[in-house]
Amino acid sequence: MFVLVNLKTYPCDPVEVAEAVRDVNDATDARLAVAPQAAHIERVAETGAETWAQHVDAIEHGSNTGHALAESVADAGAVGTLINHSERRLKLADIDGAVRAAERADLETVVCANNPAQIGAAAALGPDAVAVEPPALIGTGTPVSQADPDVVENAVEAAANVDPTVSVLCGAGISTGDDVVAAGDLGAEGVLLASGVAKADDPQSALENLVEPL
Ligand SMILES: O=C[C@H](O)COP(=O)(O)O
């Protein structure tokens, strides 16, 4: 299972969480990665943790003030990027352009979407993976894998119908190893989570709990 920890803009110490991600990754068969804010990518990558960006824009080098250039994100040490997170929604053409920009910079891609229908559309754009996240469950601590298992199973089916090579993650409310196991049982190849680790008093313990049953 792939466990991708999005730090959003939570007031955690990104290096402390990254060091925990690195150490827990080294002690488990699961794959762990962390997605800090853009300004923290370089410091986080220096820990040796697998580092992802939270967003890149559909742009190239040039006059694009305030944008996130995929090549710069990769130069800072990211190896992948989220695209179209629920808190950073893009127009369809910009999702497509961001996937192409990430490919150009050799970044792995996870395109997020709200529901199975959007997952099918996202899979058609050719990312490495898609992540289904019902917005109403994000940050609630109520796991999508238990509260809305159909959305996960239907997302897996929707992606497979479009492109079986596209992996499916699920996210929203995931915070325990049981939640991760339930996600896997529904067909997801990974989980995207945030508050369960970024807001934990002890991020390392939270990560250990997440991978313990794997
Ligand atoms: O990127 C992560 C998702 O939005 C899930 O957030 P959450 O784990 O706090 O529910």
Q: What is the mean pLDDT of each run of 10 residues along the chain (214 residues)?
A: 98 98 97 98 98 98 98 98 98 98 98 97 98 95 92 98 98 96 97 98 97 95
* Global pTM value: 0.98
Q: So what's the pLDDT on residue 134?
A: 95
pLDDT computed for residue 145 by the predictor: 87
Q: What integer pLDDT is reported at residue 151 of this predicted model?
A: 97
- Ligand 1 atom showing the smallest separation from residue 141 Cα: 10
CB atoms within 10 A of CB 32: 25
Q: Is 195 annotated as a binding-site member?
A: yes
ipTM over 0.90: yes
Neighbours of 165 (CB within 10 A): 11
- Protein fold of 2-211: TIM Barrel (3.20.20)
User: Is residue 180 a contact partner of residue 158, using CB atoms and an 8 Å limit?
Assistant: no
Query: What is the domain partition of the chain in residue ranges?
Result: 2-211
Q: Is the CB of 133 under 6 A from ligand 1?
A: yes
